[in-house]
Amino acid sequence: MNIIHAVGVKKDFGALEVLKGVDLSVSQGEVVVIIGPSGSGKSTLLRCLIELERIDEGSIYVGDRALVENGVYAKEKDLREIRQRMGMVFQHFNLFPHMTVWKNLILAPLSVLKMDKKEAEDRAFEVLRQVGLLDKRDELPKNLSGGQKQRVAIARALMMRPDILLFDEPTSALDPELTGEVLTVMQDLARNDSTMVIVTHEMEFAKNVADRVIFMNEGVIALEGTPKEIFENSNHSRLLSFLARKDTSAEAMPST
């Protein structure tokens, strides 16, 4: 069963064609890692999946429902329900700075899912333990390290029990020594059968965790396959030069 099924997705920003017909299916429990050069449309693709950007042509199905079919979007009320099946983790965390970790977590379950307080707090307890931050529950985000912020952001997304989690370069804004703690949390999620689409420049992580790796280039999926196929057996010239550049520059690429 596909959690996400996108067909012929096209998107442009004015004269700039950013997605030129992308097909993407993600099945239950699958971990898909998207790699590719800066500006190739990776973020835009993720953002279109969860309707932070609107596509111009194509269809996106989430579970059994159409977010957009042949370029026509569902009604606002349906969009809200469909988006709710997905969670997203951003490069810059986007925690609510005026709320404690705890409030960040329970806000949406209380006001969107109408969970009762007890249930929301039990869930918050559970997800905070999962990301190893129970002792930070009463802190404001500004008192956390980048790695801790991102783990809270992941916890906040988990609160909603999404069918799929989308990650847009979750470690790119972090100091190198803090990426590990975030990647570990994501690896745990993968092991527990979470469905995830992850845009990242962490190639080691992709090799170890991905079920499937997608190489995007200039607005299309240039190549996809298992980590082995992509990282070891491919002779795709664009991919090879992209990977070679990654090897020489230890640092993550600047991203948009």
Partner 1 sequence: MKIANISKILLMGIGNTVTVFAVTLFFSIPLGLLLSFMSMSKIKVIKAPVRVFVFIMRGTPLMLQLFFVCFGLPFLPYVGQYLVMDRFVAACVTFALNYAAYFCEIFRGGLLSVDAGQYEAAKVLGLTKWHVRTKIVIPQMIKIVLPAVSNESITLVKDTALITTIGVTETLHYAKSLVNSTASVLPYGVAAAFYLGMTFVLTKLFAYLERKYAF
Summarize as ranges the residues that interact with ligand ADP (CB under 6 A).
13, 16, 18, 36, 38-44, 255-256
Question: Cα separation of 151 and 221, whole Å?
Answer: 29
Closest distance to partner 1 from the beta carbon of 234 (Å): 33
Picking from 212, 248, 238, 253, the residue whose alpha carbon sits closest to that of residue 43 is 253
Cβ at position 173, least distance to ligand ADP in Å: 14
Figure out which of the listed residues 30, 40, 43, 153 binds Mg ion, where binding follows CB under 5 A: 43
Nearer to partner 1, 34 or 153 (CB): 153
Ordered DSSP codes for 138-205? T--GGGS-HHHHHHHHHHHHHHT--SEEEEESTTTTS-HHHHHHHHHHHHHHHHTT--EEEE-S-HHH
User: Which residues of the shown chain bind partner 1 in the complex (CB under 8 A)?
Assistant: 50, 52, 80, 83-84, 86-88, 90, 92, 94-98, 107-108, 111-113, 140-142, 156-157, 160
* Minimum CB distance to ligand ADP, residue 144 (Å): 25
Asked whether position 217 contacts Mg ion by CB under 5 A, the answer is no
Tell the smallest beta-carbon distance from residue 75 to ligand ADP (Å).
Answer: 24
CB distance 5 to 182 below 8 Å? no
Q: Are 65 and 78 in contact (CB under 8 A)?
A: yes
Contact 29, 210 (CB under 8 A): no
Angle between helical axes of 117-130 and 146-159 (0-180°, round to 10): 140
Nearer to partner 1 by Cβ, of 30 and 168: the residue is 168
Which lies closer to partner 1 via its Cβ, residue 88 or residue 209?
Answer: 88
| Closer Cβ to Mg ion, 14 or 254, answer by number | 254
Which entry of ligand ADP, partner 1, Mg ion, none binds 44, CB below 5 to 8 A by partner kind? ligand ADP
Two tokens, residue 133: 């931050």
Instruction: Provide the token pair at 48.
Output: 């279109």
Residue (82 or 230) nearer to partner 1, CB:
82
40 part of the interface to Mg ion, by CB under 5 A? no
Q: Which is nearer to partner 1, 86 or 209 (CB)?
A: 86
Rg (CA), the chain: 18
Shortest CB 72 distance to partner 1, Å: 20
d(CA 180, CA 202): 10
Q: Are 153 and 89 in contact (CB under 8 A)?
A: yes
Of the two residues 19 and 160, which places its CB atom closer to partner 1 in the complex? 160
Q: Which does 171 bind (CB under 5 to 8 A by kind): partner 1, Mg ion, ligand ADP, none?
A: none
Q: Which does 13 bind (CB under 5 to 8 A by kind): partner 1, ligand ADP, Mg ion, none?
A: ligand ADP
Spell out the residues 6+ positions from residue 208 whose beta carbon is closer than 8 angstroms to its own: 187, 227
Q: Which residues bind Mg ion (CB under 5 A)?
A: 43, 255
